[in-house]
Structure 1
Amino acid sequence: MRNIGEAWPWLSTGANWSGESGVWHRLAQHLTVSGLAFGLACLIALPLALYLGHLGKGGALAVNISNVGRAIPTFAVLALLMLTPLRSQGDVPTVIALVLFAVPPLLTNAYTGMREVDRSVVEAARGMGMSGGQLFLRVELPLAYPLIMTGLRSAAVQVIATATLAAMTGGGGLGRIITAGFNTYNTPQVVAGALLVAALALVVEGLLVAADRLLDPRRKTA
């Protein structure tokens, strides 16, 4: 608690919020990298998971392969990418590492959500003459929605938190505040940087919870 209290003077100093090393600039970097990685992970994982879940074929293998990726430390992937020519491509290594980190929860939850839809409901919908597209949009997707959103929230918060590691390989973001504090033995700055990352993760989680409640198709039909 004492260290948290010591971080307040650093956070309340205007000079620490401006300039290329300031909080606002680092926050913009953090959001840009995290948002790009999360968006790419969604484009890769969600269509594949929803399609395989709808068909009921091949999904188990895809989920198992993606789960293997969870065992590989993100920092290890990032460090390996920095040994390749990609190290000269700005935030590309960081984005790739974060995409690989975000795909497993998105893929697993979306596929599981689709496959856990009550088969009797699906068969009843088919019996009513629904096409494959209608079945997907009007039955399977709404019923799978809770698990899909859980995966989205989990992946988004994990990406926000893990993007901090980019600073250890020369990348931008809020992690640079923490590493700069370590380099200068400035404990209040280290704690302030950690608090900023935690606060950002909580804000993103809160926004996604609000979006979940707003977009929930079950709420619209209640």
Structure 2
Amino acid sequence: MNLFVDAFAWIFSPDRLTGSLPLPEAIAQHLAFTFGSVLLAALIAIPAGWAIGHTGRGREFAVALSGAARAIPTLGLVVLLYLLVGVVYKSQAAVVAFVILAIPSILAGAYAGFEAIDRSTISAARAVGMTGRQILWKVEVPLGLPLLIGGVRSATLQVVATVTIATYVGLGGLGFYIIQGIQLRDTAQILGASLLVVALALVLDGVFALLQRIVVPRGVAARSARPRAATRAATAS
């Protein structure tokens, strides 16, 4: 318990607002790496995933590519890119590694969202005269959005945890305090910085969980609520 008390005392110490890397700046750097990497990954993965889900072609390739990307050790990739591009582009090397880490989850969420749509819904849209573009934007994208947000949520949690290793190549973020704490053998600093990473992950997870519920179309939400209400009524009776 004293260790956690020391960790919280380290977090809220006035000293965290000064020094070579103040704590607010470290948090901002951590979030910047996270959101920047996830955004870049989304710009690549979402169009590709929607194309796969809409056309039904290329799924096997996407699954193989996602599996290969997940198998790459992120720290090894960061260090390799750092050695290849040099000190000047170390930030870019780290971002590329994080983008590669984030792509599989977003890609899977994008095409899985389309695949989960009942085919009768697509057939009904065609029957009323919708074009392929209209079906894409007015039917598939809205109905597939919850699973896409789920993929972005998963990618964000992976990246926010992995950004910590960026310190190994001289970048900032909360990992700076963890590495420094290991060098100084300061357990309170290591635990304090780790708790902040966990707190960031929990906050981001909560935000995306809420967003995932908000984007569910009203008709789908109402249809899902009716069976649950009927089950509760049957149980009560």
State the distance in 1 between where 2:166 and 2:172 align.
6
In structure 1, distance between residues paired with 2:62 and 2:12: 48
CA distance in 1, matches of 2:101, 2:219: 31
- Contact 1:19–1:25 (Cα < 8 Å) also in 2: no
Cα shift at 1:6? 2.1
State the shift of 1:162 in Å: 0.6
**Residue identity in the other structure for 1:3:** L
Verify the 8 A CA contact 2:7 2:188 in the aligned structure 1. yes
Aligned-pair CA distance for 1:3:
2.5
User: 2:164 is matched by which residue type in structure 1?
Assistant: T
Please list every run of 5 or more consecutive structure 2 residues that lacks an aligned counterpart in the other structure. Answer: 223-237
Give, in whole Å, the separation in 2 of the partners of 1:177 and 1:16: 10
Q: Write the distance in 2 (CA, Å) between the matches of 1:60 and 1:122.
A: 22
Question: For residue 30 of structure 2, what is the aligned residue in structure 1?
Answer: 30
CA contact (8 A) 2:77 2:97 kept: yes
Deviation at 1:145, TM superposition (A): 1.9
Instruction: Point out the structure with max Rg over C-alpha.
Output: 2
Answer yes or no: is the 8 Å Cα contact 1:164–1:175 preserved in 2.
yes
Could you tell me whether the CA contact under 8 Å between 2:150 and 2:212 is conserved in 1?
Answer: no
Provide TM-score, normalisation by structure 2: 0.88
Matches within 5 A, 1:55-74: 55-74=55-74
Q: Deviations over 1:83-116 (max 9, x none)?
A: 1124321411110000000000010121122122
Q: Is the 8 A contact 2:146 2:215 kept in 1?
A: no
Tell me: CA distance 1:191–1:14, structure 2 relative to 1, closer, same or farther (3 Å): same
Give the unaligned 5+ runs of structure 1. none
* Secondary structure in 1 matching 2:212: helix
Q: Percent identity?
A: 39
| Distance in 2 separating the partners of 1:51 and 1:13 | 50
Equivalent position of 2:10 in the other structure? 10
User: Structure 1, residues 164-183: CA drift from partner, whole Å, max 9, x if none?
Assistant: 01012211111001101001
**Aligned-pair distance for 1:72?**
1.0
Distance 1:196 1:219, change over 3 A: farther
Using the TM superposition, name which of 48-57 and 188-197 deviates more.
Answer: 48-57
Structure 2 partner of 1:190? 190
CA 1:90/1:78 → structure 2, altered by over 3 Å: closer, same or farther?
A: closer
User: 1:48, CA displacement in angstroms?
Assistant: 0.8
Distance 1:56 1:220 in 2: 23
Q: How does 1:26-105 map to 2 (within 5 A)?
A: 26-105=26-105
Quote the offset at 1:57 in angstroms. 0.9
Measured against aligned partners, the alpha-carbon deviations of 1:11-62 in whole angstroms (never above 9, x if no partner) come to 1211113343221111111111111111100000001101121111113212
RMSD: 1.7
